[in-house]
Structure 1
């Protein structure tokens, strides 16, 4: 579906635009070329290896530092998380299970001398809004632009289709304008655009505050070495309709244990322990109807190390520490899924 929006009807707060220019390096110029274009790309994910909450004094300090430097931006992002505060000022966080076969590619074309609309080849309100905002930052508000999206990420499944679309468009328009914001800046922009966002732009494992747009803890240089089999048992979930997870003080204590164990396992390259932690955390989150008994049976039948689920969707994935024997076990699991007509994706981290 082609979607058109009237760029000339959008008005952006001048103070917010000034902060975003400082954050990104985008600024008005008197001599933009007649035609600007750029491309971006972002992977999907297949749920989370971890989703929970982290108690960190440094997180509050980072909030205050952001508010001092970018008060308008900070107020908007902080508002997203204030409706469901956690005990001890804990911060919601996650670690994605990145999925290489799933990907969004975006192209942005800007006609700097032509007034007109911002259009897209898909139903892409958030992406159009991103382009309008950056055009205003560049002094090109009201100019004609087009967004082209190509994606194989299934929507409403918990695979990060919206996060990947928006990430790819941010990257494309920044490249069109010749700027390269940092990963930290893009993290903030994604949450600004999406309310809650998966960190599909990050290449190394980290605990990411999906409602604050910040890396809470880097987890090393490399992902755990897995053979993965992700599958879609059916159904859909509208992520934006889900309330933020709430945690009691006792649950936060348990998540502190999870996080420390997860950090050690990733640092040591212990994929088997990471897989077990992912399954344990998945069972603790009961707001979605994942069949944990069936998943546990599949782990046993196919000798997997554990499983991960989408905490905001329907997909799940079996995880094997990467060995030749695990490849054979994964092939057996693929054969069973194929025989039942269940869509699946296989990849290795």
Structure 2
């Protein structure tokens, strides 16, 4: 066996989440995530004799479960003895904000262990392991195409097409960046399934026709429905900022506090709108965290004067929020922003 390497991205919350009907007419919790390519987890698996697997940092219990499940699957497939080893995780996914940090850990782990065994696992197999490891998972084992994904079943309910329409997102965090214990939230009610199915149909139409305004309306409606569970006290402030800055709408993480204000990059005065949005978020106590786009990386995104990026080793021991299988807490958003400001200041300072 060899040293195994794996990686996985994260996301910026959801565009749509609710209860939907699958192809057999069964009700399934489902979501459509907003991809974010700038962050992710990198896993390294170092095989060694014996059956025990250790993980560094030691609190990554979900990743450890994923490592054991993947090790056992690969060993059984090769008719080999299960090995032990050390799993090392590094990443820059902000934790506790609903950006899929746990799933990113798990998928990177699965890929690293499978790589050590030189066993190819398809997305469906990776998804099944991820669900077993953390009860529900985000569709980070798939590519960035928009899909309605059943997070508790680890399978796709509907494919919406090749890509999202062009959007610019000004990110922020609600509730002061406080983490959300996902498993403690009340379940989505089946009584609203007709509403979610209507939003699904509108989202499908919006992507088929490239209607960015309709995408914004669907995302905002989904976010409002999510408020029945999340109850962010500053959600109304977020939507007010979006209205004042001429945005298409808002999106939020339905299992965290990350949020985004959505803009049409082709709208008149988009640079001015982005600057206004960042200023208004500051005034509302919702500091802008990152401006990014669903456009290809080769297309430049208009910069905001308040733009911040989440970089650095966000995965540190003691960073996960409390909840099943996790024991870390997230740094408050202002602390992240101060750290990034110091990094930029150092880069601007000429060396002696």
Question: What is the distance in 2 between the residues matched to 1:338 and 1:146?
Answer: 43
Partner of 2:206, secondary structure, is: helix
Number of positions where the alignment pairs a residue of Structure 1 with one of Structure 2: 282
1:52 aligns with 2:18: yes
1:347 aligns with 2:313: no
1:144 aligns with 2:84: yes
Q: 1:190 aligns with which of 104, 121, 130?
A: 130
Using structure 1 for the length normalisation, give the TM-score.
0.75
Give the direction of change, closer, same or farther, for the CA distance of 1:277–1:97 in structure 2 (3 Å limit).
Answer: same
**Correspondence for 2:63:** 127
Q: CA deviation at 1:294?
A: 0.9
Using structure 2 for the length normalisation, give the TM-score.
0.74
Q: 2:163 aligns with which of 222, 226, 229?
A: 222
Question: What is the distance in 2 between the residues matched to 1:309 and 1:40?
Answer: 28
Structure 1 vs Structure 2 CA RMSD: 2.1
Specify which structure has the higher proportion of helix: 1
Deviation string for 1:120-154 (max 9, x for gaps)?
A: 22121111122222223343666331111112222
Question: What is the distance in 1 between the residues matched to 2:83 and 2:125?
Answer: 25
Deviates more, 1:37-46 or 1:326-335: 326-335
Question: What is the distance in 2 between the residues matched to 1:109 and 1:270?
Answer: 48
Question: Which residues of structure 2 form unaligned runs of 5+?
Answer: 295-352
Q: CA deviation at 1:194?
A: 1.3
Q: Is the 8 A contact 2:173 2:286 kept in 1?
A: no
Q: Is the 8 A contact 2:278 2:287 kept in 1?
A: no
Q: Is the 8 A contact 1:39 1:171 kept in 2?
A: yes
1:199 aligns with 2:139: yes
Q: Is the 8 A contact 1:45 1:160 kept in 2?
A: yes
Q: 2:273 aligns with which of 305, 329, 333?
A: 329
Give the direction of change, closer, same or farther, for the CA distance of 1:327–1:178 in structure 2 (3 Å limit).
Answer: farther
Q: 2:121 aligns with which of 181, 187, 190?
A: 181
Question: Which residues of structure 1 form unaligned runs of 5+?
Answer: 1-32, 61-88
Question: What is the distance in 2 between the residues matched to 1:135 and 1:188?
Answer: 14
Give the direction of change, closer, same or farther, for the CA distance of 1:116–1:186 in structure 2 (3 Å limit).
Answer: closer
**Correspondence for 2:200:** 259
**Correspondence for 1:289:** 231
Question: What is the distance in 1 between the residues matched to 2:53 and 2:167?
Answer: 42
Deviates more, 1:252-261 or 1:101-110: 101-110
Structure 1 residues 25-64: aligned runs within 5 Å? 33=1, 36-56=2-22, 58-59=23-24
Q: 1:105 aligns with which of 42, 48, 60?
A: 42
Q: CA deviation at 1:178?
A: 1.9
**Correspondence for 1:246:** 189
User: 4+ residue stretches of structure 1 with deviation over 6 A?
Assistant: none
Q: CA deviation at 1:322?
A: 2.4
Question: What is the distance in 1 between the residues matched to 2:152 and 2:73?
Answer: 24
1:274 aligns with 2:274: no
Question: What is the distance in 1 between the residues matched to 2:264 and 2:6?
Answer: 31
Q: Is the 8 A contact 1:59 1:216 kept in 2?
A: no
